[in-house]
């Protein structure tokens, strides 16, 4: 179990403290939702959690198999909707792999990304398309 302590600071800003490490971060709603947009919004953190979780799980697999993933990058684009309520509608993820397309562990690395705990925890109504771009290859889409 991990404890996260959150305090309201006023002006729609919150401070969150990670219990085990003491690391703090601030959240601020986006401008289109009454905030100042000066920090991550709570839904931005969901998008951040998805990308970092995918890369973390791939990295765990990679280290176990002595694969160097340095230089791999992930971009997550978050799209909101107001129908039927304000929520995340779509998280489009592009994974720029630092490895060649013919890498022998390609399928296993892709599977690791798609089975990360955050990806598995998101509500089924949230669209989660993922596109892997392997070094020297055009993008291959994996729709979820």
Q: Which domains does the chain have, with CATH numbers?
A: 4-33 (no CATH), 42-142 (3.30.300.20)
Which of the residue ranges 3-12, 29-38, 62-71, 84-93 would you say has the lowest mean pLDDT?
29-38
In the chain, DSSP assigns E strands to: 4-10, 13-18, 24-27, 73-81, 87-100, 130-135, 140-142
pTM of the complete model: 0.91
Give the separation between CA 57 and CA 75, rounded to whole angstroms. Answer: 16
pLDDT category at 136 given cuts 50, 70, 90 is confident
Give the separation between CA 102 and CA 137, rounded to whole angstroms. Answer: 10
Give the separation between CA 123 and CA 46, rounded to whole angstroms. Answer: 12
**Per-residue confidence (pLDDT) for residue 73, from 0 to 100:** 98
**Per-residue confidence (pLDDT) for residue 127, from 0 to 100:** 98
**Per-residue confidence (pLDDT) for residue 137, from 0 to 100:** 73
Non-local (6+) Cβ contacts of 12 within 8 A are: 28, 29, 34, 35, 36
Buried-exposed string 77-101: b where 16+ CB fall within 10 A, e elsewhere? ebeeeeeeeeebeebbbbbebebee
pLDDT in tens, 23-70: 999 999 999 889 898 999 999 999 999 999 999 999 999 999 999 999
């Amino acid at each position: 179990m991990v404890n996260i302590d959150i305090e309201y600071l006023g002006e729609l800003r919150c401070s969150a403290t990670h219990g085990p490490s003491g690391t703090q971060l601030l959240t601020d709603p986006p401008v289109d939702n009454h905030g100042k947009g000066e920090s991550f919004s709570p839904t931005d953190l969901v998008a951040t959690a998805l990308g970092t979780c995918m890369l973390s799980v791939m990295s765990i697999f990679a280290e176990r198999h002595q694969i160097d993933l340095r230089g791999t990058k992930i971009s997550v684009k978050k799209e909101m909707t107001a129908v039927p309520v304000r929520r995340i509608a779509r998280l489009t993820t592009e994974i720029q792999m630092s490895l060649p397309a013919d890498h022998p562990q390609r399928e296993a690395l892709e599977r690791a990304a798609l089975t990360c705990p955050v990806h598995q925890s998101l509500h089924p109504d949230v669209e989660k398309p993922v596109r892997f771009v392997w070094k020297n290859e055009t993008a291959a889409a994996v729709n979820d």
